[in-house]
Amino acid sequence: MITGDADATALSIARRLGFPINPGKASCLTGAEIESMTERQLQDAVGHVSVFARTTPKHKMAIVSAFQAKGCIVAMTGDGVNDAPALKLADIGISMGRSGTDVAKEAADMILVDDDFSTILGAVEEGKSIFYNIQNFLTFQLSTSVAALTLIAMATLFGLNNPLNAMQILWINILMDGPPAQSLGVEPVDDEVMKKPPRARDAAILTPLLLRRVLTSAMIIVAGTMFVYVHEMTDGAVTARDTTMTFTTFVFFDMFNALACRSEKKSIFSIGFTTNKMFNFSVMGSIVGQFLVIYMPFFQTVFQTEALTFTDLLGITLLTSSVFWAEEARKFFGSRSQQKIHGRNAGQGFRRVDTEEGEAFEIV
């Protein structure tokens, strides 16, 4: 909390708001004390100070700069002309919508229309969720595209006929990938998202973990689809059944892959199968569409397919679910490793202490 009020007033308000206050004045710095510090001393001090009192616009900018020099992502709220320079300097400047001056609104990156600070938490939560949803969307799209390209490239390399014809590839790219991929972008906010630290300014969307997920899923899809294709083509000739089995295998792999891509780290069994209704409708619509392509005579002619038996579909389902179970295994073992790390770091943060002025918090 940065204010122009006296330090005693500022500390009193901070306690009423539930700020973690150290005993004595260790958690409060005044503008005069800031001026007497070097930049390095201020950077060391801001880590344990909760309240800054009797500050000017110059002091506010120095505080923001000190946090940024420590590698922090700084959000600054304000409503007056004196806050404008710091709002401009901060990574995210937030101006009050009702009580904010025009100067503050112009300097800010965001305007808090209802002047309710709790709205900021919702905005941060939504912003983080959108980022991770984009990553899940890319994981699904890239793994499907890499698998399709690899499948065709391998068939060409080994002198085999293409396992998918032009209409089938078009069906996969437009109708099958479209709705499920879009529904991943509206995945509900993860409860754990606010426990994650802010990303670095130069953080890439395509992380090493994302690329590993893409390549792993693509390899499983390619291996499974090629297995079905080679197994069906025992007579050396490509029949409608061969392409239908291969085509349906790839589509079912897609659906299980989409299910696995709903979260980077959490199992679908902890997320719940019904939390994203748009995803469920998209996948069910895609599966119904695939059945129409297989069983309706008109579409059989267009896509060069033929009807499959229940045994065929059961075998395809069991095989294609492997991409889902592989991803679930990665999440399971990854979460266990993360729990061990959290266990070693347990106890870091604030602890309660008793002072003459009442209960307070000490940073440990």
pLDDT in tens, 212-244: 999 999 999 999 999 999 888 877 677 889 999
Query: 276 and 231, same structural domain?
Result: yes
Query: What pLDDT is recorded for position 222?
Result: 96
Query: 176 and 304, same structural domain?
Result: yes
Give mean pLDDT, residues 345-364: 45
What pTM was computed for the model?
0.76
Q: How far is CA 53 from the centre of its chain?
A: 37
Query: 183 and 62, same structural domain?
Result: no
What's 241's domain CATH number?
1.20.1110.10
Query: 332 and 267, same structural domain?
Result: yes
* Buried b or exposed e, range 286-298, using 16+ CB within 10 angstroms: beebbeebbeeee
Query: 170 and 48, same structural domain?
Result: no
Provide the mean pLDDT of the chain.
Answer: 87
DSSP 2: B
Query: What pLDDT is recorded for position 324?
Result: 96
Residue 2 counted as domain residue: no
* Single residue among 119, 140, 167 that ends a domain in this structure: 119
Angle (CA) 103-104-110 rounded to 5° is 130
The span from the CA of 128 to the CA of 117, in Å, is 18
Residue 343 has pLDDT above 60, yes or no: no
Question: What's the token pair of residue 151?
Answer: 């499948």
Query: 215 and 325, same structural domain?
Result: yes
Query: 134 and 114, same structural domain?
Result: no
Residue 353 counted as domain residue: no
Residue 357 counted as domain residue: no
Secondary structure of residue 161 in the 3-state scheme: coil
Strand partners, 53: 30
Domain extent, residue 264, equals 126-345
What is the secondary structure of 37-106 as a DSSP string? S-HHHHHHHTTT--EEES--HHHHHHHHHHHHHTT---EEEE-SGGGHHHHHHSSEEEEESSS--HHHHH
362 band by pLDDT with thresholds 50, 70 and 90: very low
CB 244 within 8 A of CB 309: no
Residue 361 counted as domain residue: no
Query: 195 and 63, same structural domain?
Result: no
Query: 320 and 294, same structural domain?
Result: yes
Query: What pLDDT is recorded for position 190?
Result: 81
Residue 354 counted as domain residue: no
Hey, what amino acid is at 263? Answer: S
Give mean pLDDT, residues 89-95: 94
Residue 192 counted as domain residue: yes
Query: What pLDDT is recorded for position 200?
Result: 75
Residue 345 has pLDDT above 60, yes or no: no
Q: Give the pLDDT confidence of 17-71 residue by residue, as tens digits.
A: 888 776 655 678 999 999 999 999 999 999 888 899 999 999 999 999 999 999 8
Query: 207 and 68, same structural domain?
Result: no
Select the more confidently predicted residue: 158 or 269.
Answer: 269
Residue 107 counted as domain residue: yes
Query: 293 and 338, same structural domain?
Result: yes
Residue 1 counted as domain residue: no
Query: What pLDDT is recorded for position 350?
Result: 42
113 band by pLDDT with thresholds 50, 70 and 90: very high
Strand partners, 347: none
* Single residue among 60, 92, 119 that ends a domain in this structure: 119
Query: 146 and 111, same structural domain?
Result: no
The span from the CA of 278 to the CA of 83, in Å, is 43
Strand partners, 355: 358
What's 65's domain CATH number?
3.40.50.1000
In the chain, the number of structural domains is 2
Query: What pLDDT is recorded for position 341?
Result: 53
Using CB atoms within 10 Å of the CB of residue 283, give its burial: 0 to 12 exposed, 13 to 18 middle, 19+ buried: buried
Q: 71: phi > 0 → left, psi -120 to 50 → alpha, else beta; which?
A: left
* Single residue among 119, 138, 171 that ends a domain in this structure: 119
